[in-house]
Amino acid sequence: MSFKDYFSGAGAIVNISSTRAFQSQANTESYTAAKGGITALTHALAVSLSGIARVNSIAPGWIDTGSYHEEDYVPSYTEGDIMQHPSQRVGEPADIARAVLFLCDERNSFINGENITIDGGMSKLMIYHNDYGWDYQP
């Protein structure tokens, strides 16, 4: 924490975690553990840097970054890709950027040590076998 002397008491740190810190798919242990570690580091740093800097994290879900990697990128989502999100759209990098700006704004200084999930509502959606035409096939 050698950087802490450079904060004036009004600093803000925003770490990027992932919804994978809380939900997993097979064979994603390394990524899941890394993102879970970032989430834990966030609340630990919020305590250690109390009065020096606020520390929060964001856990994005599906954020389409294709346009940042391909010049002529055209998204090709299925209707199911879109409609599975309660927000009825796939996330964009600007969704995360706006949340970072919100957390860095001094007017929101009471938010500290938190992780904000930004996933279009996916982590709040409970789906069981035969719901919405979904069929689990082991």
| Catalytic (active-site) positions | 31
Dump the DSSP string for 17-45.
Answer: --GGGT---TT-HHHHHHHHHHHHHHHHH
What whole-number distance in Å separates Cα of residue 57 and Cα of residue 17?
Answer: 6
What whole-number distance in Å separates Cα of residue 75 and Cα of residue 90?
Answer: 10
Closest alpha carbon to 42 in 98, 115, 103: 115
